[in-house]
Structure 1
Amino acid sequence: MTVDHPADLTIVTLVPLLLDTNGDAANARVLAQRARWAGLSARIVPVHSVADLPAVVDLVVIGSGTDTSLTAARDALSALADALRGWLGGGVPILAVGTGWELLSAGLDLADGSSLAGLGLVPGRAGLLPDRVADDLVVDAAGQRLSGFENHRRGYSGATASLGVVSYGTGNGDGTEGVRHGSFIGTHLHGPVLARNPHLADLLLDLACTARGLTPAGSTQTASVDGIAKAARNQVAVRLGLTAE
């Protein structure tokens, strides 16, 4: 176990050497920077094995990987299954993107017709779509827009609740996108998703701060960045024939 240093929030990124194909491990950097703008101290701890785990974990980020590294990534996450189970049961906010999410499900189908067992920690499984999807993805998440890009061969079924309804794109393949399971969010959105949708980052931060009894402060820097992100989402929406926010 690593030696800890005091910080308001500790953000763990799991197996980033294997699960960062689309830069999704950078979601941890978004969380840390927004925490700092809110007057809190934050640190990011890359975790590749149990030995890397800090004593306190406030937020968890899992990125996406390639199919060629699926077995290695699954085995690395399996070694951390007890920690993941504890975080899920304890309400620690977890964001998992792409294959990082799929590997926590019951399993995922592969292009060669075989399947790979997942960790079975979140409801559902990832099944093959008719074709690979690589396009913009826009989602209505309880009245708030999420925007990014998707690049995946598998959809998702069996989630107890989705992240939102697809306005443009494919997502899970059934008109919904992602999964919500307690404090866990799984999504196909890349970008990284939290840089393009900082309101989702703030949702995760608020959950973590509430658990720790912390009160984030307002920030002009945050407001400025939020405006830039909103303008970028609107530019995509207009290009796709959707209304602006």
Structure 2
Amino acid sequence: MTLAPTPGLTVVSLLPKLLNTNGDAANARVLAQRARWAGIEASVVPVHTVDDLPDSVDLVVIGSGTDTDLIMARDALLPFADVARAWLAGGVPVLAVGTGWELLSGGLDLADGTAIDGLGLIAGRASSLPARATDDIVVAGDDVRLIGFENHARGFTGARRPVGRLISGTGNGDGFEGSVAGNFIGTHLHGPVLARNPELADRMLGLACTAKGLVRPMSAQADTADDIAKAARNQVAVRLGLDAD
């Protein structure tokens, strides 16, 4: 049965040309598609300059970039500082991955001793790891296990609250992974993370729907996608010697 569309959601993909090294800008498409499967209209708006910003923003996705583009990415993000601060203060669900997350923090300390100022919107700071982390990562969240792939040269300190406890991988470098502040999520998980962990996508969608007074029913399409994601996560879990979900 096809559900009748209802007034929808606007998902902003911030700087998707610059911050999409690991395909993380696709997290915006995951959010929009899961909303559509539930009969809610949803659009993804690629935002490259402040002039591209839509009148209404319900969810925001920021991907990861390369270290060679760190200054360029930081300077491209700077014009969005005020609006991003408003999103965070207003409870708009925001997902930032990798360097997109790091650049929203107090700053980055690179292996060569260089320090790069961040936007200072998120508590904490990214600091160089002894070795680059490139492996599967498993995280025990509040009530869900998240699995993805990490590819980063820096850990993270000073997060108000982590996404979860590390089961396998490097994460922040202190036994935990990610940063949570209100409806903001920062993470090292690629995959894209919302495709591999649809429970996390549904949490973000639930927050956005509640804010707009929308009801998001489950759908057969989402169930099928969830089964595929679960099988992919279980392959990683078994390979790492962990129990399957």
> What's the TM-score bracket when you normalise by the shorter of the two chains?
over 0.9
Aligned CA-pair RMSD: 0.9
Q: Following TM superposition, by how much is the alpha carbon of 1:7 offset from its aligned partner in structure 2, in angstroms?
A: 5.3
2:137 aligns to what?
Answer: 137
Query: Which residue of the partner structure matches residue 202 of structure 2?
Result: 202
Instruction: Specify the alignment match of 2:81 in structure 1.
Output: 81
The whole-number CA distance in structure 2 between the counterparts of 1:98 and 1:126 is: 10
Q: Which amino acid aligns with 2:63?
A: G
Asked if the contact 1:127/1:155 (under 8 Å) is kept, the reply is: yes
Q: Paired residue for 2:146?
A: 146
- Aligned partner of 1:3 in structure 2 is none
After superposition, the C-alpha distances for 1:187-226 in whole angstroms (9 at most, x for unaligned) are 0000000000001000000000000000012201111111
With normalisation by structure 2, the TM-score equals 0.96
**In 2, Cα distance between the equivalents of 1:108 and 1:170?**
17
Q: What is the count of residue pairs matched by the alignment? A: 240
Given that residues 59 and 93 in structure 1 are in contact (C-alpha distance below 8 angstroms), is that contact kept between their aligned partners in structure 2? Answer: yes
Match of 1:48 in 2: 48
For residue 177 of structure 1, what is the amino acid of its counterpart? E
- Separation of aligned partners in 2, 1:47 and 1:188: 22
Tell me what 2:18 maps to. 18
Secondary structure at 1:8 match in 2 = strand
Q: Is the 8 A contact 1:7 1:43 kept in 2?
A: no
Matched, 1:162 2:162: yes
Unaligned stretches of 5+ residues in structure 2: 1-5
Distance 2:198 2:143 in 1: 15
Gaps of 5+ in 1: 1-5
Partner of 2:98: 98
Q: Give the drift of 1:244.
A: 1.1
State the SS of the aligned residue for 1:156.
strand
TM-superposed deviation, 1:179: 0.4
Rounded to whole Å, the distance in 2 between the matches of 1:44 and 1:143 is: 29
- Please give the TM-score of this superposition, normalised by the length of structure 1: 0.96
Off by >3 Å, runs of 4+ in structure 1: none
> What's 1:66 paired with?
66
Matches of 2:15 and 2:232, distance apart in 1: 30
Q: d(CA) in 2 for partners of 1:207 and 1:115?
A: 35
